[in-house]
């Protein structure tokens, strides 16, 4: 059967933005920003997105569009004669499954909060509510629900499933978040949250520069869906050659914009209605943002409607990301092992059903996977893709970068390739070393 492709350039861009915009923007980004001192983190993070994230995104695009394959097949094909690069791609396929295992648990929480928002059943007890629902058999059940939605979309294929779903969900996410932000910033007391978020204060950078750099780098990779091969896979479905540099920039700008927009919802709510960050920063636990924001809704008029809109937006954002994770191993089985999309989706769904349930039952394991393990795997994976692009593809990478690009983009090709060969892998390997060191 012929390999599928996107119906249009817009379809590709929206699917990639859909992958990028997710829990990373709404849940992980405010949590990291709060933990590392607000605006200073924002600045460091934005620099890394620009200097490391965008070039990394372009490297994945180049690999994907040139090979028209899943990550494992892509690296194996583009480096004929050596089997070992295929394993780097295969590492990405495995990472995708690890990632989806914890992501689907958080997706399950969102699904549950979304449903519970209609009745307001967590109102008045948001802390206790999160305690009860976050881990255990019920959490596992909601994880299965979220995973089933993910699998249903992936089953529909590249056009009928992923493209159609993201085209419908992306505009909704933006509209919902924009309305919520407009409302949140006008709440009395919102100003304090905004100034924590936006007033630049360099003190946190000076206090813990390495820690912040590590966190900002991890967040930049996570939010752009890098280091796993998501963007390789999505670019492999490109039918015609357009400027990758342009598409990549649009994707990064939209992703960052939506992340910043989410901050305009979350920070005013936390400060105006919850009196600050104490709850959010307590131990830096993953659930704090749920408790803080969910707790805010009970205090406002039409709180249930606001909550439904908020969790609805996050649910769409999470789904448009989780499908991009499941698509990697599905594409791998379809491309390399001639499995039908249907069987691949069902088999992998069953596998993640189990691995995700284990994460839902064991909070310690969940924390390890969602934090440390994912940071390490993404950083290692992206370093591998960059070295491959810079040293194995070399001038072929430049040719692919240039194909379909205009004059401005072409002039960026050479500096891009240079950074992909040298500074960027070095930066990532240094981050990796720091992460490993802090683990020991």
Q: Which chain residues interact with ligand TRP by CB under 6 A?
A: 19-20, 22-25, 99, 222-223, 225, 227-228, 230, 321, 324-325, 378
Choice between 166 and 321, CB closer to ligand TRP: 321
CB of 228 to ligand TRP, least distance (A): 4
Q: What's the min distance (Å) between Cβ of 82 and ligand TRP?
A: 25
Q: Give the integer Cα–Cα distance in Å for 284 and 210.
A: 18
**CB nearer ligand TRP, residue 98 or residue 190:** 98
CB of 248 to ligand TRP, least distance (A): 14
Distance CA 67, CA 392 (A): 13
Q: In the complex with ligand TRP, which residue's Cβ is closer, 384 or 404?
A: 384
Give the residue with the Cβ less far from ligand TRP, 222 or 416: 222
Q: Residue 15 and residue 54: Cα distance in Å, rounded?
A: 17
Shortest Cβ distance from residue 440 to ligand TRP (Å)? 24
Beta carbon of residue 275, minimum distance to ligand TRP (angstroms, whole number): 28
| Cβ nearer to ligand TRP, comparing 230 with 419 | 230
State the Cα–Cα distance between residues 142 and 153, nearest whole angstrom: 17
DSSP string covering 5-66: --SSHHHHHHHHHHHHSSHIIIIIHHHHHHHTTTHHHHHHHHHHIIIIIHHHHHHHHHHHHH
State the minimum distance, in angstroms, from the CB of residue 400 to ligand TRP.
Answer: 21
Tokens 């817009």 appear where?
10
Task: State the Cα–Cα distance between residues 40 and 46, nearest whole angstrom.
Answer: 10
Closest to ligand TRP by CB, 213 vs 226, is: 226
CA atoms of 174 and 180, how far apart (whole Å): 10
**Environment class of 415 (CB within 10 Å of its CB; exposed 0-12, middle 13-18, buried 19+):** exposed
Phi, psi of 228 (to 5 degrees): -120, -30
Nearest-CB residue for ligand TRP:
24
């Amino acid at each position: 059967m012929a390999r599928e492709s996107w119906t249009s350039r817009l379809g590709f861009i929206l699917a990639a933005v859909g992958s990028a915009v997710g829990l990373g923007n709404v849940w992980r980004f405010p949590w990291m920003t709060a933990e590392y001192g607000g605006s200073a983190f924002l600045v460091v993070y934005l620099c890394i997105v620009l200097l490391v994230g965008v070039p990394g995104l372009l490297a994945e695009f180049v690999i994907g569009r040139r090979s028209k394959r899943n990550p494992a097949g892509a690296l194996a094909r583009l480096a004929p004669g050596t089997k070992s690069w295929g394993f780097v791609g295969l590492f990405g396929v495995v990472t995708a499954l690890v990632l989806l295992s914890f992501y689907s648990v958080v997706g399950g929480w969102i699904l549950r909060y979304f449903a519970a928002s209609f009745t307001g059943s967590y109102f008045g007890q948001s802390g206790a509510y999160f305690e009860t629902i976050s881990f255990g058999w019920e959490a596992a059940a909601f994880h299965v629900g979220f995973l089933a939605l993910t699998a249903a979309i992936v089953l529909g294929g590249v056009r009928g499933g992923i493209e159609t779903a993201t085209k419908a969900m992306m505009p909704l996410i933006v509209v919902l978040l924009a309305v919520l932000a407009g409302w949140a910033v006008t709440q009395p007391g919102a100003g304090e949250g905004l100034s924590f978020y936006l007033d630049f204060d360099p003190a946190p950078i000076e206090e813990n520069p390495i820690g912040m750099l590590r966190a900002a780098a991890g967040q930049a990779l996570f939010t752009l869906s890098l280091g796993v091969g998501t963007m390789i896979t999505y670019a492999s479905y490109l039918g015609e050659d357009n400027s990758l540099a342009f598409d990549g920039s649009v994707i990064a700008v939209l992703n960052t914009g939506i992340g910043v927009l989410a901050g305009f919802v979350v920070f005013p709510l936390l400060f105006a209605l919850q009196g600050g960050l104490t709850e959010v920063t307590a131990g830096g636990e993953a659930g704090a943002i749920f408790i803080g924001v969910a707790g805010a809704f009970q205090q406002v008029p039409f709180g249930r409607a606001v909550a439904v809109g908020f969790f609805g937006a996050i649910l769409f954002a999470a789904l448009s990301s989780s499908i991009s994770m499941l698509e990697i191993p599905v594409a791998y089985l379809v491309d390399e092992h001639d499995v039908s999309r249907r069987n691949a989706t069902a088999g992998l769904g069953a596998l993640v059903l189990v691995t995700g349930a284990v994460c839902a039952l064991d909070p310690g394991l969940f924390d390890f996977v969602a934090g440390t393990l994912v940071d390490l795997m993404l950083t290692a994976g992206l370093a591998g893709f960059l070295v491959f692009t810079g040293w194995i593809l070399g001038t072929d990478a430049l040719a692919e970068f240039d194909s379909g690009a205009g004059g401005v983009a072409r002039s960026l090709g050479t500096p891009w390739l240079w950074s992909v060969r040298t500074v960027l892998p070095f930066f990532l390997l240094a981050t990796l070393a720091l992460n490993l060191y802090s683990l020991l």
